[in-house]
């Protein structure tokens, strides 16, 4: 079995930006685990690259068939999950699996794989900064924004269950810190 690197954070904390950077600078060693979701595809996203976009019925069938390493109903009717087949695909390439998952998913993967996994919690500098980032995304309607903020406040309580915490305040520092943590983990 290979290694896994988990990046978890409240929505809007910058985990996708950090993961994309790491995949670019360490592409010979790392590969992205594409999650499955029931949410609608954004115009900028590609099926099978950003997510596997599934209907709720197909997602439910995969749950019943035990095809998920972890999954969660993040909001009513909105599921995200990691397929076992995705991890096996990446390990077959001889690469380290990199996850960009919510906090609950990150904890579940870490518990399953223990020291094989590095779990990194990416923390926003404050809830106010997080709200501003989510508003700038322009993908949120105000009542969904408040749901995300409430969920973020809850998720911040779990950062102690991760191996490392990186505060995403200045992006260049965050990227350097993430690179350093990943390189150290890969040498263990």
Alpha carbon distances (Å) from 106 to 25, 43, 57: 23, 26, 24
Q: Which pTM does this prediction carry?
A: 0.84
Average pLDDT for runs of 10 along the chain of length 188: 92 88 97 95 92 96 97 88 95 96 91 96 82 66 68 83 94 96 94
Q: CB atoms < 10 A from the CB of 66, how many?
A: 8
**Angle (CA) 122 19 21, round 5°:** 115
Do 123 and 165 touch, CB atoms closer than 8 A? yes
Q: For residue 23, with 0-12 CB atoms within 10 Å meaning exposed, 13-18 middle and 19 or more buried, which class applies?
A: middle
> Strand order of the sheet with strand 96-101?
30-32, 96-101, 4-8, 117-123, 164-167
Measure the CA–CA gap between 167 and 130, rounded to whole angstroms: 12
Measure the CA–CA gap between 63 and 166, rounded to whole angstroms: 32
pLDDT of residue 126: 75
Q: Which CATH architecture has domain 4-187?
A: 3-Layer(aba) Sandwich (3.40)
Both tokens assigned to 131: 């709200």
Do 126 and 13 touch, CB atoms closer than 8 A? no
Measure the CA–CA gap between 140 and 113, rounded to whole angstroms: 34
């Amino acid at each position: 079995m290979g290694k896994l690197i988990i990046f978890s954070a409240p929505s809007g904390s910058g985990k996708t930006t950090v993961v994309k950077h790491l995949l670019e600078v360490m592409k010979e060693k790392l590969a992205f685990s594409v999650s499955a979701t029931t949410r609608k595809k954004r115009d900028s996203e590609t099926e099978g690259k950003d997510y596997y976009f599934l209907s709720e019925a197909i997602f439910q069938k995969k749950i019943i068939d035990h095809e998920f390493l972890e999954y969660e109903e993040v909001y009513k009717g909105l599921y995200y999950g990691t397929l076992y087949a995705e991890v096996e695909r990446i390990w077959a390439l001889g690469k380290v699996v990199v996850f960009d998952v919510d906090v609950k998913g990150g904890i579940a993967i870490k518990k399953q794989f223990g020291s094989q996994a590095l779990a990194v919690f990416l923390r926003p500098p404050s809830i106010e900064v997080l709200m501003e980032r989510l508003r700038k995304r322009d993908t949120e309607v105000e009542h969904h924004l408040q749901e995300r903020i409430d969920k973020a406040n809850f998720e911040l309580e779990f950062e102690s269950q991760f191996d490392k915490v990186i505060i995403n305040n200045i992006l260049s520092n965050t990227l350097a810190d993430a690179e350093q943590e990943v390189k150290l983990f890969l040498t263990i």
